[in-house]
Structure 1
Amino acid sequence: MDNKYRPIGVFDSGIGGLTVLKEIIKEMPNESTIYLGDTARVPYGIRSPETVIRYSLENTHFLYSKDIKLLVVACNTASSISLDSIRRTVSIPVVGVIEPGAKAAVRTTRNKRVGVIGTEATIRSSSYEKSIKSVDRDIEVYQLPCPLFVPLVEEGWVEGEIATMVAEKYLLDMKDIGIDTLVLGCTHYPLLKGVISKVMDKEVTLIDSAVEVAKEIKEILETSDLKKGYQGGALREFYVTDLPERFVIVGERFLGSSIEHIEMIKL
C-alpha cells in the first residue's frame, strides 16, 4: 500500500483519547484512522511506570501490525512515561499529547503564568511543567489535579449546576493566582470547556491538547509527504479490550459521531 493511504493509529487507556481522534478527523477528514481503547486495564494512572510501558508497547505492537503510518499516544499517563520506549520500538512518527499542548501554552501566555489541570497521576508526574520549562524556564506553572472531572464527563454531566459547582471548587484559587493560560491536561476535559470558560476570566485562554496534537500531526504528514489528500474514502476502525457496548454509548458523545466498526480484542 502507498504510504499516504496507510491509516493513523491512536491509542488510549480508554475513552478519553476520542477527543484527540475527533480533532484529527476534523483537521484531516480524508485520513483513515484506527483507534484502540485499552478498556480492560483503564486507568493507567494507578499503575507503575514499568506496567504503563508494557501496556503501551502492547498497544503499539497491535496498531503497528495494522500498517499504520503514524502513531498517536492519546493518553497523558502513557505520553509522560512511554514515549521514548515506543519511539525506540517503531520506525514511524510517534506523537504524544503533552508536548504539543505545552508548546501551545508557551506561545500563548503573555504574563508567563500558566495553569495546568489534569488527573492526579498527570499532575504528580509534572510532565507539562517540565515540557513548558524546557522551552521557557521563566514561565511560572501552577498545577492542579481535578479528579472529579473524569467521572462527570463519563456520566454526561458536562454542563449545569453540578458541573459548575465542581469546576468552581477546583478552579477559583487558580483564577485568583492570575494565570492567563490554562492547559486542559486530560483528554476528557475538552468536554468541560464551556463550564471551565465560565469559571475562569475571559482573558484566560484554554489550551486543548487535542487540537494541538491534530495540528502537529498534519504538519508531520505534510513535511514527510505522507498526507493522503482527497483520494478515496476514509475508514474508521475501533478496537477495545473490554466492554464494547459501553465504549460505544459513551464514546459517541466524546467523538460527536457514530461508532460503527468496533471489535473486542485481547492484547
Structure 2
Amino acid sequence: MQGNNAIGIFDSGFGGLTVFKAIAEKLPNYNYIYLGDNARSPYGDHSFDTVYRYTLECVEWLFEQGCPLVILACNTASAKALRNIQQLDLPKKYPNRRVLGVIRPTAEVVGEMSKTKAIGVLGTRGTIRSESYLIEINKFFPDVEVYQQSCPMWVPLVENNEHEYPGADYFVKKYIDELMQQSPNIDTILLACTHYPLILPKIKQFLPQEITLVAQGDIVASSLADYLDRHQDIEKALAKEAKQTFYTSGDTDIFNAQASVFLGKKLNSKPMGSN
C-alpha cells in the first residue's frame, strides 16, 4: 500500500481538482491521493452501468493504495455509481472502507439559500438525467422547486482550454437562457459539475446580479470536516503528513498542464499504473 492512509479523491478528469483544492485548504494536515480517470473522461454521456464499472475500478485502485476513505469528487459518478458502491460493494468486500459523494452534502444546504424556493441545477447530461439533485434536494426541502438544465458543451470547453475565449460565450448563454426560461422565480443556481467554477465569471455575465451561484467545493469540504468529527474511527486511521500525490489514467504531461489551471500551481502527476 502506497497511500499512507490517505484520503482518496476521485474524478473522471480534472474537475474534481476544484473540490480537492477546497478540501485540502480546509483540512491541510491530511495525506491525499487524487486520481483522475482522464483516459476514459468525460463520464457524462456514459450509461449508468458503464459509469458504475469505471468508478468502482478507480475506487478499488485507491483502496489498493491504502485509502480508507474515498471522496467521489465527480457529480456523474456520485449520481450513477455511489449508491451501488455503498450498498452492494462495501458491505461485501470492503466493510472497513468508506466512499462519500458530492450530491448529498450539497442537497442538504442548497435549499436554505433560496428565498423564492426555486433552484436551478446546471450539470452534465448524466447528472441531470439521473435526477439525483431533484430527488435529494426534495428530501431535505420538499417545498423547493428544482429546475434542471444539462450543459453538454461546458466540460469539453474547459478541458480544451477554450472556456475563456469569446467563442465559449454562445454555449454559456445558451444553457443559462434555457434554464431561466423554465421559471422566472429561480434565484439560486447550483453548479452541479466540478468543472463549472472555472467558467463562473462567464456565467455571471449572463445572469442578473441577484442570482446566487453555488459551487460545491467549500460545501463538500465542510461536510467532510463534519464527517471526520463524527467518525473518529476513520479520522484516527488517516495519516497527517500533509502529503499530496496525483495520479491519472491518461497522459501525465497533459494532466499536469490542465491541473495547473484548476489548482493555480504546477504539479507532477504519476501514471495510474505506477507506485
Q: Return the TM-score normalized by structure 2.
A: 0.87
- Measured in 2, the distance between the counterparts of 1:172 and 1:76 equals 22
**How far does the alpha carbon of each residue in 1:64-112 deviate from its partner, in whole angstroms, 9 at most, with x for none?**
1222232101111210121122224132332211112222211211110
Secondary structure of the residue aligned to 1:144 is: strand
Equivalent runs, 1:153-164 vs 2, <5 Å: 153-159=158-164, 161-164=166-169
1:37 aligns with 2:36: yes
How do 1:99-114 and structure 2 match up within 5 A?
99-114=104-119
Instruction: Provide the residue aligned with 1:94 in structure 2.
Output: 99
Cα shift at 1:114? 0.1
Residue correspondence of structure 1 range 98-137 to structure 2 within 5 A: 98-137=103-142
How far 1:188 sits from its partner (Å)?
Answer: 0.5
Is 1:219 aligned to residue 226 of structure 2?
yes
Alignment partner of 2:56: what SS? helix
Q: Give the drift of 1:160.
A: 5.0
- The residue that corresponds to 1:185 in the other structure is 192
1-side partners of 2:202 and 2:99: how far apart? 32
| Match in the other structure for 2:11 | 12
Find the partner of 1:140 among 110, 121, 145.
145
Question: CA, structure 1 residues 191+112, in 2 after alignment: closer, same or farther (shift >3 Å)?
Answer: same
Match of 1:48 in 2: 47
- Who is 2:246 aligned against? 238
Given candidates 257, 261, 268, the residue that maps to 1:249 is 257
TM-fit CA distance, 1:173: 4.4
Structure 1 counterpart of 2:271: 263
Give the deviation of 1:169 after TM superposition: 2.2
Deviation per residue, 1:18-62 (Å, 9 max, x gap)? 111111112112221101111222222333222222221111111
Residue identity matched to 1:254: F
8 Å contact kept, 2:252–2:269:
no
Q: 1:246 to 1:160 in 2, by over 3 A?
A: closer
CA deviation string 1:217-253 (max 9, x = no partner) = 111112223558xx96411111111212111111111
Q: TM-score, normalised by structure 1?
A: 0.89
Q: CA RMSD in A?
A: 2.2
SS in 1 for 2:81: helix
Deviates more, 1:107-116 or 1:189-198: 189-198
Q: Which residue of 2 aligns with 1:150?
A: 155
Whole-angstrom distance in 2 between the partners of 1:161 and 1:222: 45
Q: What residue number does 2:75 align with? A: 76
Structure-2 change in CA distance of 1:184 and 1:263 (3 Å): same
Aligned CA distance change for structure 1 residues 185 and 113 (closer, same or farther; 3 Å): same
Task: Name the CA distance, whole Å, in 1 between partners of 2:166 and 2:185.
Answer: 25
For 1:195, give the aligned amino acid.
Answer: K
Number of residue pairs matched? 261
Report what 2:215 is aligned to. Answer: 208
Counting aligned pairs with the same residue, the percent is 39
SS in 2 for 1:128: helix
Q: How far apart in 2 are the matches of 1:175 and 1:261? A: 40
Range 90-99 or range 32-41, more displaced: 90-99
Question: 5+ residue gaps in structure 1?
Answer: none
How far did 1:165 drift? 3.6
2:28, 2:34 → 1: CA distance?
15
Query: C-alpha separation between the residues in 1 aligned to 2:222 and 2:201?
Result: 22
Give the whole-Å Cα distance in 2 for the aligned partners of 1:54 and 1:155.
26
